[in-house]
């Protein structure tokens, strides 16, 4: 399922956070979404998920806005930084509530808990979870509806080395199954190992939209290529 951005623009007062983004994110590959702090990545992802309203332009999933889907968790799984579970709820109950709201079988909850390695902690309140456990719970929620599109904002944040390796494999597998995987990250060496394709933005504008190999060509590393691409768009 394609993600399509059409002249997507978001202004907050005098700040243009996202400035006329026109692009497609394709299925069957991991697309890394890069850019300096404040470049507009989170705002873009939030508009795709209908959590922020565009000032102009639009974001579509499979040719339709997110809000047009009655059971959205079956179309898009997302992990956003700010998305937290209720601290008084257990991880399992959090996922059960999500499942119920999207007509997903309760058995799937235990399946995804196992998949993300949280089975043993499933009956603990999420308020007691470590950063990495919370991240794994977010990923479990994203996978719940077995969606064709996955959107992950800094998914590696807080994960231990095993977790980092695991999520790298998971993203690769999800893409190999033909899903659309869009992942934002500042960890360039990790992105170099995970992404097939990169979208780079700065000041809300598109700086690059190309296969990883193409972006890397002539550079020693993705870090090197990134600095060339984003020169003058970083804070300070
Ligand atoms: N709710 C808001 N109100 C006002 N300004 C906002 C709001 N959300 C984001 N912005 C501004 O929009 C711009 C883009 O922010 P955004 O969080 O999308 O960037 P980002 O690329 O995700 O950054 P980071 O890498 O730091 O997470 C920034 O200048 C930010 O200050």
Kindly state whether residues 167 and 62 are assigned to the same domain: yes
- The residue to mutate among 17, 18, 78, 83, having the most atoms of ligand 1 within 8 angstroms of its beta carbon, is 17
* Burial profile 95-108: b = 16 or more Cβ within 10 angstroms, e = fewer: bbebbeebebeeeb
**How high is the pLDDT of residue 234?**
79
Contacts of 179 (CB under 8 A, 6+ apart): 1, 27, 28, 147, 148, 149, 150
Q: Determine the pLDDT at residue 11.
A: 98
Same domain, 135 and 88: yes
Q: Are 168 and 201 members of one domain?
A: yes
User: Does residue 155 share a domain with residue 175?
Assistant: yes
From 12, 44, 233, 235, the mutation candidate for ligand 1 (largest count of ligand atoms within 8 A of CB) is 12
Q: Which of 105, 125, 146 is the last residue of a domain?
A: 146
Q: Are 153 and 41 in contact (CB under 8 A)?
A: yes
Q: pLDDT tens-digit profile of 36-47?
A: 999 999 999 999
Predicted local confidence at residue 84, as pLDDT:
66
- How far does residue 26's CA lie from ligand 1's centre (Å)? 25
Let me know whether 218 and 181 are in one domain: yes
Measure 47 CA to ligand 1 centroid, in angstroms.
12
C-alpha 94/C-alpha 107 separation (Å) is: 14
Judgement on whether residues 13 and 37 belong to the same structural domain of the protein: yes
Residue nearest to atom 25 of ligand 1 (CA): 37
Domain boundary among 123, 146, 169: 146
Centre of ligand 1 to C-alpha 40, Å, is: 6
User: What is the extent of the structural domain holding 41?
Assistant: 1-75+148-236
Nearest to 217 by CA among 233, 207, 206, 228: 228
Ligand 1 pocket test, candidate residues 38, 152, 188, most atoms within 8 A of CB: 38
Same-domain status, 173 and 142: no
Cβ–Cβ under 8 Å, residues 66 and 49? yes
Q: Quick one: pLDDT at residue 232?
A: 80
**Are 112 and 166 contained in the same domain?**
no
Ligand 1 environment, Cβ below 6 A: 12, 15, 17, 35, 37-43
Whether 138 and 162 share a structural domain: no
State the pTM of this model: 0.94
* pLDDT value of position 81: 72
CATH at residue 59: 3.40.50.300
Number of domains in the chain: 2
Give pLDDT, residue 85: 77
pLDDT of residue 142: 96
Q: Taking Cα atoms as reference points, which of 31, 34, 66, 33 lies closest to residue 47?
A: 66
Backbone angles phi, psi at 32, to 5 degrees: -85, 140
In tens, the pLDDT along 161-213 reads 998 999 999 999 999 999 999 999 999 999 999 999 999 999 999 999 999 99
Domain boundary among 131, 146, 161: 146
Q: Whose CA is nearest to atom 16 of ligand 1?
A: 40
- Whether 63 and 154 share a structural domain: yes
Whose tokens are 């700010």? That residue is 82
Stretches in the chain below the pLDDT threshold 70: 82-84, 236
Q: Which atom of ligand 1 is nearest to the CA of 35?
A: 21
Report the complex ipTM.
Answer: 0.97
């Amino acid at each position: 399922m394609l993600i399509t951005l059409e002249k997507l623009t978001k202004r907050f007062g005098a700040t243009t956070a996202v400035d006329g983004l026109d692009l497609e994110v394709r299925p069957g590959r991991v697309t890394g979404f890069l850019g300096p702090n404040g470049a507009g990545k989170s705002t873009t992802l939030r508009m795709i998920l209908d959590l922020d309203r565009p000032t102009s332009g639009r974001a579509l999933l499979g040719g339709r806005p997110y809000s047009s889907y009655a059971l959205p968790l079956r179309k898009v799984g997302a992990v956003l930084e700010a998305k937290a579970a209720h601290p008084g709820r257990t991880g399992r109950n959090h996922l059960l509530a999500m499942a119920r709201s999207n007509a997903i079988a309760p058995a799937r909850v235990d399946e995804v808990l196992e998949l993300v390695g949280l089975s043993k902690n499933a009956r603990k309140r999420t308020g007691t979870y470590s950063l990495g456990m919370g991240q794994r719970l977010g990923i479990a929620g994203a996978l719940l509806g077995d969606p064709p599109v996955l959107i992950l904002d800094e998914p590696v944040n807080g994960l231990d080395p095993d977790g980092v390796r695991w999520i790298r494999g998971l993203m690769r597998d999800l893409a190999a199954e033909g899903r659309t995987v869009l992942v934002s990250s500042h960890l360039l060496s990790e992105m170099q190992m995970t992404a097939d394709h990169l979208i780079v933005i700065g000041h809300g504008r598109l700086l690059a939209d190309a296969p990883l190999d193409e972006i890397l060509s002539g550079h020693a590393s993705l870090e090197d290529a990134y600095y060339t691409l984003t020169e003058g768009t970083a804070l300070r």
